[in-house]
């Protein structure tokens, strides 16, 4: 009976270590910056790993009052590109913790 308790304690320690590692990895990911770009970098959007926009840059020559829709499309393209990069890196960084765990 005691042998089973030792295994349980060892497993609990492993789970606690994994939880701390996950928290550290998430914190490191949250402070990283990801830059999304639209065509020829006419618009760039910068996000942190926790999906907060830090900056958006629009080149002057793309601003045309007669074609606001193009500018909107470029902004959307840059934002989506940045968020896709955040998502890929989140999966690469955090996905390793979910491998082999039931329900993930």
Per-position DSSP letters for 5-41, written without gaps between them: HHHHHHHHHHHHHHHHHHHHHHHHHHH-EEEEE-GGG
Q: In 3D, which of 86, 8, 76 has the Cα closest to residue 37?
A: 76
pLDDT at 39: 93
pLDDT at 9: 86
pLDDT at 23: 93
pLDDT at 99: 72
- Give the global pTM: 0.77
Binned average pLDDT, 10 residues per bin, the chain of 104 residues: 70 89 93 96 97 96 94 97 96 82 56
Complete domains list, the chain, with CATH: 33-93 (3.30.1310.10)
82 in Cβ contact with 47 (< 8 Å):
yes
């Amino acid at each position: 009976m005691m042998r089973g308790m030792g295994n349980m304690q060892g497993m609990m320690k492993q789970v606690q270590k994994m939880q701390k590692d996950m928290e550290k990895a998430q914190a490191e990911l949250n402070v990283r910056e990801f830059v999304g770009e639209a065509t020829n970098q006419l618009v760039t959007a910068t996000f942190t790993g926790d999906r907060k926009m830090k900056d958006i840059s629009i080149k002057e020559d793309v601003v045309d009052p007669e074609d606001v829709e193009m500018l909107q499309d470029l902004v959307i393209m840059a934002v989506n590109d940045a968020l896709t990069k955040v998502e890929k890196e989140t999966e690469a960084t955090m996905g390793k913790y979910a491998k082999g765990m039931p329900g993930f």
